[in-house]
Amino acid sequence: MQAKAVFRFYEELNDFLPVERRKREFEIEFDAPVPVRHLIERMGVPHTEVELILINARSVDLQHPAANGDRISVYPVFEALDVTPLIRLREHPLRDPRFLADVHLGKLARYLRMLGFDTLLAKDGVADGELSRLAARQRRMVLTRDRALLMRKEVTRGCYIRRGRPREQLAQVIRRLDLGDSLRPFTRCIRCNEPLQGPLPKAQVWQQLPPRTREAFAEFWRCSACAKLYWRGSHFARMQAIIQALQGGLLRDDVGR
Ligand SMILES: [Zn+2]
């Protein structure tokens, strides 16, 4: 049955829409019944970016059918501030966040590992289907700048990564998932994502250390997979600065340029 509904998207969800549909109500035609998710994605907004849907002022889930005459409001993760009595589309916050970053987000993946988050980086040439199945199997959130990937059925958790420097992208993920209190720096290998062992006494790693490092540092960590050694050198100081900025809420879009 031919039907019409009025949509309004809020805040950053507007970025996915063509200019003439941003921040205003607009009408679309469709064949009813259809799950509201299909209409939202047909307009270019991945379901993973939506936190709350109101149809005629009542909250519904993604599978709810849209009907003729509906007024549909769609909110992103951050605009739905106090939605406790409403249907949230996913559990929040994530208790044990794990990620799968697409191949273009290598720097973001290394930052997340640096903060202790289990983050796989997809290999070059891996097909979208394979990547999304891996994410589903291992319950990982997909991080990508590819909207079509987030619209795949198998992807239940995802985060569209906005254009920007890797540190800004990191801040985006930490803010959106409210991970500021879950950072566990120095627990994971930045190179291969495996847990670090340590702190290890100096005697245990003495042979592998450059002479100046032997003198300057007392504690060391070792990757359980690749055996790379870590100590609290200059990279650690940089990491501390990033963490402080994240926890202080300082890493907004305009910081660090
Ligand atoms: Zn390693």
pLDDT in tens, the chain (257 residues): 999 999 999 999 999 999 999 999 999 999 999 999 999 999 999 999 998 999 999 999 999 999 999 999 999 876 445 555 566 666 555 567 899 999 999 999 999 999 999 999 999 999 999 999 999 999 999 999 999 999 998 998 999 999 999 999 999 999 888 888 888 988 999 999 999 998 998 888 888 888 888 888 888 999 999 999 999 887 888 888 888 888 776 555 444 33
pLDDT at 239: 85
Question: What's the 229 CA to ligand 1 centre distance in angstroms?
Answer: 9
DSSP string, the chain: -EEEEEEEE-GGGGGGS-GGGTTS-EEEEEESSEEHHHHHHHTT--GGGEEEEEETTEEE-TTPEE-TT-EEEEEETTT--S-TTS--SS-SS-SS-EEEE-GGGHHHHHHHHHTT-EEEEPPTT--HHHHHHHHHHTT-EEEES-HHHHTSTT--SEEEPPSS-HHHHHHHHHHHTT-TT---TTSB-TTT-PBEEEEEEHHHHGGGS-HHHHHH--EEEEETTT--EE-SSHHHHHHHHHHHHHHTT---TTTT-
Question: What's the 238 CA to ligand 1 centre distance in angstroms?
Answer: 20
Question: What's the 52 CA to ligand 1 centre distance in angstroms?
Answer: 39
Question: What's the 252 CA to ligand 1 centre distance in angstroms?
Answer: 31
Question: What's the 117 CA to ligand 1 centre distance in angstroms?
Answer: 14
